[in-house]
Each structure stands twice: as structure tokens, then as C-alpha cells.
Amino acid sequence: MTNANQPMETMTFEIDRYRGMPKSPESYVVFAGALDKHPHDRRKVILIPDPFSSYVTFFEFNRADIGGLEELPSLVSREGDTVPIFRVWVKKGSIAVQCLPFIVEDISGRWNR
């Protein structure tokens, strides 16, 4: 039988090694949001700036490019769900991915009258 809290405990343990500000913060750019594991690559993390928004966007960073983490106040949904939020220090010049999923739709007919 698996414990439902085990993934969160593992993620917390992995985050602990990055806690605090980097030694030279001027070499980093700050992002904030909810952290999650990458679904396929253990060397990367996903950062969701606004986890309760219907306008979903996220960032993908290499763990090696993270210089520090600071825990911020958690977000709470109307249903009482909480999401921990982190300030993430990412090394300047790093390659990252910003993803903005969308539904493909033909809107050309909307302006033709």
C-alpha cells in the first residue's frame, strides 16, 4: 500500500538542498510560483506562476540552473486546497522553456461580415 503523502515528502526533501538565496543574487533572475516535478525528466522542474488560474502557463527549468529557493505564503483556493509557493532563483543565461497551452480554433470567420 502506498502513502498518498509520499510524493510530497520526496519533493520537499529534494527542495531542501536549494533553500535560501544564492551567494551572488545579481547573477540570477527571480521567478515565483508552485513547483512540480517534470513528468519525464528528473533533471528539470516545472514552475506554475498561478496554479488556480484558468489561463495556464508554466516554466520548465533545469535543476542545475537553480541557485536558491525561498518559500513564500501558500495560496488557498475557495475549496480550501493549498499550494505552496516558492521564489526560485534561476541563473542568468540559462536555457528554459515557457509553455502556453491553447486550444486550436479557426477564428478567421469572426471578423468577416
Is residue 37 situated within a structural domain? yes
Domains held by the chain: number: 1
Is residue 87 situated within a structural domain? yes
Q: Dump pLDDT digits (tens) for 56-72.
A: 899 999 999 999 999 99
Query: Taking the model in full, what pTM does it have?
Result: 0.74
Q: Dump pLDDT digits (tens) for 73-100.
A: 999 989 999 999 999 999 999 999 999 8
Is residue 74 situated within a structural domain? yes
Is residue 57 situated within a structural domain? yes
Is residue 111 situated within a structural domain? no
Is residue 78 situated within a structural domain? yes
* Residue 110 buriedness (CB in 10 A; 0-12 / 13-18 / 19+): exposed
Q: Domain of 69?
A: 6-102
Is residue 45 situated within a structural domain? yes
The three-class DSSP label of residue 95 is coil
